Amino acid sequence: MKKKITLIGAGQIGGTLAHLIALKELADIVLFDVAKGIAKGKALDIAQSSPINKFNVNLSGTDNYEDTKNSDVIIITAGVPRKPGMTRDDLLGINLKIIKQVANGIKKTSPNAFVICITNPLDVIVMALQRYSGLPKNKVVGMAGILDSSRFIYFLSQEFKIPVQKIKSFVLGGHGDSMVAMLGSTLIDGKAITDLVKDGKIKQERLNEIVERTKKGGAEIVKYLEKGSAFYAPAAAGVEMAESFLKDLKKQLPCAAYLNGEYETKDLYAGVPVIIGSKGVEKVIELKLTNDEKMNFKKSIESVKELFNAARKIDKDLN
């Protein structure tokens, strides 16, 4: 039985998600957008490429939640992106309203869906989405860590001039300036990066610059694009999560997941390594963190908490 993925938001990321899902023949695709024409136009345009790329999936566009019912996966990008000079947090007010609308739209029509939220400010928006929708916490997850980790790995591959496949690393914590690059578990062609620093292969200052560039990875692209933000890599990351769910791959992926005591954190969403399989977020992996990583992770959690308190002030329904 063909699976069904609904994309709520058919903008830059939504359209790219649809194209990648179609090329991989992961599922039939419903593009949903309040701008119905964008959803319908992109669905038709991608469908017209099927004879070229030889994929067979149904694509449709709509602004009616009825057309999205019984989705297996819902990926949400509905919201506004940053403009140059804006922080991800600046989007809180407007995107909180949008995510409340989306939550009401999906909770009745797809109560069993695996819901991947991409809209910024990610950690707080995904938490609000879960509360507004009341969907199970292990079926509502945020996409950020895969993107941040991918940016970090790419920058390291450029620095060491080796293929990305030979680098292992990941980034945890909030999807913002407080994100934590896990240097203690970063391997460059099998060698610990901390040893490469000790051996003088890379200076600590240079490594710190690469970590900073990763934190600002989104802002760097916003500056170039001027209108809109990154969308190819965010979409690739969202598809990796959807595929692990639909094919029960049980991949270990850094995602914004609900913490219920793990990492000494309760009742909060933040970026941690999780196993994604057919039951959704099947396990939160508790890593042994270095003291530095523990301290930075704690700081990152505090910044998510602070922003969620700001969200609570905007909407009492989040209390």
Using CB under 6 A as the criterion, which residues of the chain lie in contact with ligand TXD when the complex forms? 8-14, 33-35, 38, 77-82, 91, 95, 98, 101-102, 118-120, 122, 143-144, 147, 175, 218, 228-231, 234
Which residues are within 8 A (CB) of 1 and not within 5 positions of it... i.e. 6 or more apart?
none
Three-class DSSP category at 284: strand
Cβ 94 to ligand TXD shortest distance, Å: 9
Cβ 221 to ligand TXD shortest distance, Å: 8
Structure tokens at 158: 């450029």
168 by Cβ neighbours in 10 Å (0-12 / 13-18 / 19+) ranks as: middle
Q: Can you count the helices (H) and strands (E) in the chain?
A: 11, 14
C-alpha span between 120 and 276 (Å, rounded)? 21
C-alpha span between 159 and 53 (Å, rounded)? 35
Task: Specify the residue, 113 or 193, whose C-beta has the smaller distance to ligand TXD.
Answer: 113
Task: Specify the residue, 152 or 188, whose C-beta has the smaller distance to ligand TXD.
Answer: 152
- The one catalytic residue in 151, 175, 263, 297 is 175
Three-class DSSP category at 179: coil
In this structure, the strands spanning 140-142 and 114-117 are parallel
175 assigned to active site: yes
The residue of the chain with the least Cβ separation from ligand TXD equals: 11
Which residues are within 8 A (CB) of 28 and not within 5 positions of it... i.e. 6 or more apart?
2, 3, 4, 5, 57, 58, 59
Cβ 80 to ligand TXD shortest distance, Å: 6
Task: Specify the residue, 147 or 246, whose C-beta has the smaller distance to ligand TXD.
Answer: 147
Task: Specify the residue, 193 or 243, whose C-beta has the smaller distance to ligand TXD.
Answer: 243
Structure tokens at 222: 């916003």
Task: Specify the residue, 34 or 192, whose C-beta has the smaller distance to ligand TXD.
Answer: 34
Cβ 91 to ligand TXD shortest distance, Å: 6
Cβ 169 to ligand TXD shortest distance, Å: 17
Q: Please answer whether residues 242 and 253 qualify as being in contact, where contact means their C-beta atoms are separated by less than 8 angstroms.
A: no
* Residues annotated as catalytic (active site), given as ranges: 175
